[in-house]
Structure 1
Amino acid sequence: MFTPKSLLQPHVRSHLTWIFLGLWVGTLFLFWQQHQKDNSLSFANAAAKTANAVVNIYTFTSQESPFSRNSSQKITNLGSGVIISEDGYILTNHHVIQGASSIIVSLNDQRQTRADLIGSDPATDLAVLKIELTELTPIHLGNSDSLRVGDQILAIGNPFGIGQTVTAGIVSAKGRDSIGLNTYENFIQTDAAINPGNSGGALVDLKGKLVGISSAIYSSSGGSQGIGFATPINDAVKIMESIIQHGSVVRGYLGLQVQENSPQVAIALNLASEEGLIVTSVTPQSPAFKAGIRPGDILTAIEKHTDLSAHRAQQLVSQLTPGENVTIKGLRGTQSFITKALVEQLPAMQAVDNN
């Protein structure tokens, strides 16, 4: 067989080796790209990773029969929950377990068990349950702060009690805070179908990581109309940890009510500034009262936060630690002031009343 002498030279052979290696690597890369593209067309991987962590919740409430004082009937409510840890902690909604005399959790592997209520928080509509089973599959937690409007997500739950169901959609909006459902709101809005029974279920990203707890729908018919709301998992985990540690959620309390200022309001009330938050009421002997804050004052800063909405101020105060001093800046008439308030713990009844 004839072989040109030029091909036998070492530098030529080395050059050909690199060419063939490049073609081989390029072919593998094309196959990998096609594989990734095929996977991106399906939600199956994310659903499979999540399925065993999402549970069905059945609650029973004993009631006296109107026909006999000695008998009782049991009304069954349906909802969903998410296994957060290997030792059996489950996140769900407060309204799913509210008033329940007993709670039964049904796992995706067909096991059923009674659940203990560790605590709940009506102000955010979250509750924590505990089950005593082994070989649980907790969900992987995502980062709800990194979600972007337009990201694809899945809602997994037990709508209408028909069994575990997966629906797909996108993140329609973030930070929804004026819905009127809870005292403290910071909802993820999604168009993934969320129906009765989905409450307490999982909102996951395409990696199968939990980014929210499905909470409510906006609907005129009672069914999904493309507007669902979920509590961000970053918020939910903080609530859960507080409930596990304290039995309830510990929130800061100053004892004042505010409304947002504006040019129109400033003109109508003859205020010296059109910015800040107007104090509308102060609870007697509250931290704000003791700090000298009075109705009519304009708050311009809480700690280093100056660009505050009424909702943001409420969230900020709730996150303060009881016992710490908080610096508040404001205006009274044309005179500016700085004061310090000693944060107290939000009274339990206060949280219920606000709800």
Structure 2
Amino acid sequence: MKLKLERMILPVVLVFGMTGIAMPAEGQSVLQAIEKEISQLLEQNRACVVRIHAIYAPADRDESLQYGSGYTHGTGFVFDPEGFVMTVDKAVVGAREIRVTLANGEVRTASFVASDPTSDVAVIHVDTSEDLPHVLPGNSDAVRVGHYSFILGNAFGQLLPSIGSVYEVNRDEDLIQLTSTVHPSYGGAPVFDSAGQVLGMVWAAPFQTGDPLATVAQEAPMTVFVIPMNRLERIARDLVRQGQVNYGWLGVEVDEHSFPVVVTRVTENGPAWKCGIRRGHRILSYGGHTITGPFHLRRLVMETPPGTAIQIRLEGEDRDVAAEVQVTERTRADADGRELSEFDPGSAVLSHDVRAQSPPEEMLFDQIRAVEQELGRLRKLIRSP
């Protein structure tokens, strides 16, 4: 199936959660007051957004991301005054040379710091002798459906805004979904609330590739997936301090569509195997958290610091049992490679050991299935006497 969720190489997003509007000045309408506040928010944060230009050796570049021979163009935002910039890994990984253009037009050289292939987050460092304007981190846990979003992204060399709104906050997958018009180069953008604080970064959006169902998705409002700022801060901190993000690993595969979550395979001598978890067990809770689905379990396991002992409640054939598992560090070989690629409708297993269908793919296809169901209902109404 040719629906492609393409990670965007140019990052800069702003999730705007408007909690209130200032009273308009005398002789000024409410709409004029709103316009003024939006304009001020964007202008105050424009200096924190950079345009990224990565140069690759001809044999190394990804043709699908090409904007000219050996170049990619992306967006990033300064999150530390010493010149550390956050972006998506597709914008910079493997580049021979990285340059950034500041809001004032000044071009500077940047160095690659580290990237996390699981989250697709990368950090680069801009050479600077003075403090750079930087964003203020917000609390992404406060984001709610209906909050406005303002995306400021690098489109054809210009920082252009795009206004949308939050329509889904998925705590299980730790992702925020927006409706907004974006360009492929908007990936990695920061998300601001009404106080001008960043709530997240643009991560992915669907782009049509010729499949009829992709056309259905394209007809609906553009879905933009955003990584919440609270999660980004943890990732960026680890990348700057130690050059990598350490994820927990349980060593199980589970049925992607069952609830409660059913274990379908256990890696021999892995953490789950050692504590007695076997195929057929249903995982009810993890570390005191009631499991709501396979992606919820996956996120909790990955966020567990390696070496942590976790209590797991299981449902067996005739009774519930409790087990304590020692979560270990997930290696690159264990990583599930969050490639947003062609969707495999026959895939029924979410694995912590091998590559698995990503949360955005699952959520997007849930939306497509809902659209199909609604179209079927309307067809029946039209055909009825």
Per the normalisation by structure 1, the TM-score is 0.77
Secondary structure at 1:123 match in 2 = coil
Letter of the 1:219 counterpart: F
- Whichever of the two has the greater Rg, that structure is 1
Rounded Cα–Cα distance in structure 2 between residues aligned with 1:32 and 1:285: 72
Query: Match for residue 46 of structure 2?
Result: 51
CA-to-aligned-CA distance 1:44-81 (integer Å, 9 cap, x gap):
0110111000100111111359xxxxxxx951001100
Letter of the 1:315 counterpart: R
Is the Cα contact below 8 Å between 1:329 and 1:339 reproduced in 2?
yes
Is the Cα contact below 8 Å between 1:62 and 1:74 reproduced in 2?
no
Give the alignment partner of residue 318 of structure 2, picking from 330, 334, 338: 334
Give the alignment partner of residue 142 of structure 2, picking from 142, 146, 151: 146
Query: Match for residue 41 of structure 1?
Result: 35
Secondary structure at 2:56 match in 1 = strand
Q: 1:145 to 1:64 in 2, by over 3 A?
A: closer
Give the alignment partner of residue 207 of structure 2, picking from 219, 234, 238: 219
Runs of at least 5 residues in structure 1 that lack an aligned partner in the other structure: 1-28, 66-72, 178-184, 263-274
Secondary structure at 2:278 match in 1 = coil
Matched, 1:84 2:72: no
Rounded Cα–Cα distance in structure 1 between residues aligned with 2:228 and 2:27: 32
Query: Match for residue 349 of structure 1?
Result: 333
Matched, 1:172 2:160: no
Give the alignment partner of residue 194 of structure 2, picking from 196, 201, 206: 206
Query: Match for residue 290 of structure 2?
Result: 306
Query: Match for residue 194 of structure 1?
Result: 182
Q: 1:221 to 1:49 in 2, by over 3 A?
A: farther
Is the Cα contact below 8 Å between 2:24 and 2:33 reproduced in 1?
no
Q: 1:137 to 1:37 in 2, by over 3 A?
A: same
Q: Could you tell me how far 1:32 is from its partner in structure 2?
A: 7.5
CA-to-aligned-CA distance 1:140-182 (integer Å, 9 cap, x gap):
22222111111112101102x23111111111222187xxxxx
Is the Cα contact below 8 Å between 1:176 and 1:189 reproduced in 2?
no
Letter of the 2:314 counterpart: G
Is the Cα contact below 8 Å between 2:82 and 2:131 reproduced in 1?
no
Query: Match for residue 275 of structure 2?
Result: 291
Letter of the 1:320 counterpart: T
Q: 1:238 to 1:109 in 2, by over 3 A?
A: same
Query: Match for residue 70 of structure 1?
Result: none
Letter of the 1:41 counterpart: E
CA-to-aligned-CA distance 1:96-129 (integer Å, 9 cap, x gap):
1233222111111122222122111121111111
CA-to-aligned-CA distance 1:211-247 (integer Å, 9 cap, x gap):
1111222232699952222211111111111111221
Q: 1:327 to 1:216 in 2, by over 3 A?
A: same
Letter of the 2:229 counterpart: I
- What is the aligned length? 300
Q: 1:169 to 1:336 in 2, by over 3 A?
A: closer
Query: Match for residue 245 of structure 2?
Result: 249
Task: Name the stretch that deviates more: 305-314 or 73-82.
Answer: 73-82
Task: Name the stretch that deviates more: 85-94 or 198-207.
Answer: 198-207
Rounded Cα–Cα distance in structure 1 between residues aligned with 2:157 and 2:256: 45
Matched, 1:137 2:137: no
Query: Match for residue 7 of structure 1?
Result: none
Rounded Cα–Cα distance in structure 2 between residues aligned with 1:284 and 1:30: 66
Give the alignment partner of residue 254 of structure 2, picking from 240, 255, 258: 258
Matched, 1:228 2:221: no
Secondary structure at 1:218 match in 2 = strand
Is the Cα contact below 8 Å between 2:24 and 2:32 reproduced in 1?
no
Rounded Cα–Cα distance in structure 1 between residues aligned with 2:69 and 2:223: 32
Q: How do 1:306-325 residues align onto structure 2 when only pairs under 5 Å count?
A: 306-325=290-309
Matched, 1:239 2:240: no
Query: Match for residue 270 of structure 1?
Result: none
Matched, 1:115 2:103: no
Secondary structure at 2:47 match in 1 = helix
CA-to-aligned-CA distance 1:248-268 (integer Å, 9 cap, x gap):
111111111122675xxxxxx
Letter of the 2:167 counterpart: S
Per the normalisation by structure 2, the TM-score is 0.72
State the superposition RMSD in angstroms: 2.6
Secondary structure at 1:243 match in 2 = helix
- Detail structure 1 runs of 4+ shifted over 3 Å in the superposition: 29-38, 221-225
Give the alignment partner of residue 102 of structure 1, picking from 97, 121, 129: 97
